[in-house]
Amino acid sequence: MILQGKRVALPPAPVVHRQFEKHAQATPDAVAVFCAGQRVTYAELDAKANRFAHFLAAGGRGRGAKVGVCLDYSIDMLVAILGTLKAGAAYVPLDPAYPAARLQLLLGQIPGLALIVASPATAGLVESAAVEIVDLEQLSGRLAELPETGPDIPVTGDDICYAVFTSGSTGTPKLTAVRHEGWFNLMNWLMLEYGLHSDSNNLVVSALGFDLSQRSLMTPLFCGATQYLMASRNFDAAMAYRMLTEHEIRTVHCASSTLYLLVDWETARRGEALTRLDYVLFGGEPLKVERVLDWARRPGNTCTLLHQYGVAECTDVATSYDLAEYRPGEHDIAPVGRPAYNTDIHLLDERLCGVGVGEYGEICISGTGVGAGYLGGTGPEAERFTTIEVDGAPRRLYRTGDRGCVDQAGDLVVFGRMDAQVKVRGMRIDPTDIERALGRLAGVREAAVVVADSGDSELVAFIVPEGDELAENDVRARLLETLPRNMVPARFINISLIPLSPHGKVDRAALVAMCRNQYA
Amino acid sequence: MIADQVRTIWCRELQRDDIALDDDFFALGGQSLIMARIQAAFIEELGVEVPADQMFLNPTVASIAAYIESMDAVAQ
């Protein structure tokens, strides 16, 4: 079973920052970024990014290098990102909301890390003897002496533009790399298919480490529109809603759970700002469609909800579905729709043979969006990138580990995972990553983590204590020092023994059943 | 007392019978969905919009109440 995306030709050099530069030439005085009362035009942002690119290239941090970006949302963040791309390097977003211990673990996984851009507010989190840290503010004197025209470093569509951390299956996060061509194709598809243009102003509401945040950050600059950033390290519903009310914002990219928050916020206040948007592009976790349906059907609501599916390994989005087509009687689960341009979805069995119409298979992705793979180390995940033969020709393909089928209308529907990985609030999480962190805590002999559904999906940890039962608050507080908040379980349950399956693996189904009993 | 009003809101949204002045929001199981509800309650019941970043920096009833009092002082 193959779902084919439309074939749309890309320019000979599908390089993301070239598209931004076109707008800087055509509409130099248009506002590119607005943040905390400050604004920068396309020409100004281009000049600042060019200077930073010269700085990187002169220091031998050009093509092929990796530049860490550990900044709060700000104009400087986009200077750092665009400058890195112009230098021919790839950026790695490092979310300053993460605990320092987690950021240090991630830093150790970035091969060829040349430099980290930080600010006085974030530098302490990423301090490292091995890597230089620069602050654009402090650097401004030196940057002012560099040319404001582009360094014109040759970059190809196959070069890496960014790399983000995704959950692996071995308990350590993996760094997955995206190519310019894939990212260009994604934003070109959004622009042409959905008619995004120079008024398609966007508000970023997601955390920096997400793959969707990279798209949210760059798409308006790709379309010549204005990017609105919130000077907030953490998601701030009140501030986000106020920004939507006060500014001409047309698009929001977010995880499904963030959409629920915004819809709830609007519903409680009888507001209209969200209904006036052109698009909310959302996904990343199973959609609870009842959380948005009443709002979506409000009279006068002109906002199109695009329910999307994809994986970081294949440039973030692979398919899209207009939720207006959803019929509660016909669908159990809201579909994720049809493929992006130059993208195919394959449903395969364990021998990598196609399954029939209506049958379940592993969702595999081929086409322009397939990324450059994992950087540094060849874990078992590397095998997820493989090659199959389609119509007699070899095709590079990524096996997502997600399970799905194609419905009668020809839309893809996703039904959970083939393995133990889980999705909670938009983030793919490997429970063994959390189990390892728990196992390192004093007093914990063994731990297992599962997802329970008590209305909202949440992580539940089962702990076998060394001695006395461990207090929930204490374990949670200690875990918060090493893990991002979205990976810290909502509940902790002391248990004397972790149940095992006949094969000797953790019996996750039994644990999920125990959660259900606890709620009952 | 603002601290009492804050405590009442926290207890309701975190579904706890009682919370000490220095209990940590995250250690109590707080997360972003609950935080947004508390932020909304602060707006509706106390008339102040507390930035999410301040709620992260002041994760106890005592410290967030002190922050809100300082906001009020500035407003006056």
Distance from CA of B32 to the nearest CA of A (A): 8
Torsions phi, psi for A160 (to 5 deg): -80, 135
Q: Which residue of A261, A425, A477 is in closest CB contact with B36?
A: A261
- Between chains, do B32 and A261 touch, taking CB under 8 Å as contact? yes
Task: Give dist(CA A94, CA A103) in Å, integer.
Answer: 7
* Cβ distance of A237 and B27 shorter than 8 Å: no
Please report, to the nearest 10 degrees, the dihedral formed by the alpha carbons of residues A201, A207, A209, A213 taken in order: -20
Q: Residue range A274-288: average pLDDT?
A: 92
Residues sharing a CB contact under 8 Å with residue A47, sequence separation 6 or more, in sequence order: A148
Which whole-number Å values give the CA distances from A121 to A97, A169, A427, A430, in the listed order?
A: 11, 33, 25, 30
Query: In which domain, by residue range, is B47 found?
Result: 2-75
Confidence category of residue A277, pLDDT binned at 50, 70, 90: very high
Residue A74, pLDDT > 80, answer: yes
Tell me the average pLDDT across A65-89: 98
d(CA A317, CA A253): 11
pLDDT for A18:
98
Look at B26 and A477 and tell me if their CB atoms are within 8 Å.
yes
Q: Kindly write down the DSSP assignment for every residue of A151-167, as one continuous string.
A: ------TTSEEEEEEE-
Phi, psi (5° rounding) for residue A388? Answer: -125, 170
Which of A233, A476, A491 faces B53 most closely, judged by CB atoms? A233
Q: Chain B interface, mutation test: which of A98, A205, A234, most B Cβ atoms within 10 Å?
A: A234
Query: What is the average per-residue pLDDT within A21-50?
Result: 98
Percent of chain A with pLDDT over 90: 75
CA–chain centroid gap for B36, Å, is: 10
Residue A65 above 70 pLDDT? yes
Confidence band for A424, pLDDT divided at 50, 70 and 90: confident
Closest residue on chain B to A258 (Cα): B33
Q: Note whether B40 contacts A474, CB cutoff 8 Å.
A: no
Which tens digits make up the pLDDT trace of A237-273?
999 999 999 999 999 999 998 999 999 999 998 999 9
CA dihedral A69, A72, A78, A83 (to 10 degrees): -30
pLDDT for A427 equals 73
Q: Which residues in chain A touch residue B50, judged by CB atoms under 8 angstroms apart?
A: 238
Three-state DSSP class for A110? coil
Chain B closest-CA separation from residue A232 CA (Å): 6
Say whether pLDDT at B67 is over 80. yes
pLDDT at A501: 74
Q: Return the SS3 of A516.
A: helix
Q: Are A344 and A5 in contact (CB under 8 A)?
A: yes
- Residue A266 to residue B61: CA distance in whole angstroms: 27
What pLDDT is attached to residue B32?
A: 80
ipTM for this prediction: 0.90
pLDDT > 70 in chain B, percent = 96
Biggest CA-to-CA distance, chain B: 35
Q: Quote the mean pLDDT of chain A.
A: 92
Q: Tell me: pLDDT of A209 over 80.
A: yes
Going by pLDDT thresholds of 50, 70 and 90, the confidence category of residue A128 is confident
Q: Is B23 on the interface with A (CB under 8 A)?
A: yes
Predicted local distance difference test score (pLDDT) of residue B75: 64
pLDDT of residue A352: 92
- Could you tell me which of A192, A243, A237 has the C-alpha nearest to residue B37? A237
Alpha-carbon dihedral sign for residues A48, A50, A53, A54: negative
Residue ranges of B 28-47 with Cβ closer than 8 A to chain A: 28-29, 31-33, 36, 39-40, 43
Looking at beta carbons, which residues of chain A come within 8 Å of B51?
Answer: 232, 236, 238-239
Asked if the C-beta of B18 comes within 8 angstroms of chain A's C-beta atoms, the answer is no
Q: How far apart are CA A437 and CA A121, in angstroms?
A: 26
Percent of chain A residues topping a pLDDT of 70: 97
Edge-to-edge strand order for the sheet containing A31-35? Answer: A38-41, A31-35, A227-229, A202-204, A251-255, A279-283, A304-309, A319-322, A338-339
Name the band, by pLDDT with cuts 50, 70 and 90, for residue A378: low
Instruction: Determine whether the interchain pair A473/B27 forms a contact, defined as Cβ–Cβ distance below 8 Å.
Output: yes
Residues in chain B closer than 8 A to A472 (CB atoms) = 29
pLDDT at residue A383, as a whole number: 85
pLDDT digits (tens, 9 = 90+) for A300-346: 999 999 999 999 999 999 999 999 999 887 777 899 999 999 999 99
Closest CA to A164 of A123, A206, A130, A227: A206
Q: Are A176 and A169 in contact (CB under 8 A)?
A: no
A78-99 pLDDT, tens per residue?
Answer: 999 999 999 999 999 999 999 9
Over residues A386-411, the pLDDT tens digits come to 999 988 999 999 999 999 999 989 99
Per-residue model confidence (pLDDT) at position A168: 64
Identify all chain B residues contacting A265, using CB atoms and an 8 Å cutoff. 36, 40
The answer, for A48 touching chain B at a CB cutoff of 8 Å, is no
Residue A283's pLDDT is what?
92
Q: Per-residue pLDDT for A421 more than 60?
A: yes
Span B21-53, pLDDT tens digits: 999 998 888 888 889 999 999 999 999 999 999
Q: Flag whether residue A291 sits within 8 Å of chain B, measured between CB atoms.
A: no
Report the chain B residue with the minimal C-alpha distance to residue A485: B31
pLDDT of residue A520: 47
Q: Which residues of A222-235 are buried (b: 16+ CB within 10 A; e: fewer)?
A: bbbbbbbbbebbbb
Q: Is some CB atom of chain B closer than 8 A to the CB atom of A441?
A: no
Please tell me which of the candidates A237, A488, A490 has its beta carbon nearest to residue B36. A237
d(CA A441, CA A332): 41
Of residues A86, A79, A119, A78, the one with CA closest to residue A15: A86
Q: Does A233 touch chain B (CB under 8 A)?
A: yes
Residue of B nearest to A235 (CA): B52
CATH of the domain at B11: 1.10.1200.10
Instruction: Quote the number of domains for chain B.
Output: 1
Q: Which residue has the tokens 């692996």?
A: A168
Residues in A touching B43 (Cβ below 8 Å):
238
Where do we find the tokens 């500014």?
A247
Question: Domains (ranges, CATH) in chain A?
Answer: 36-156 (3.40.50.980), 430-519 (3.30.300.30)
What DSSP element (H or E) covers A479?
helix A472-479
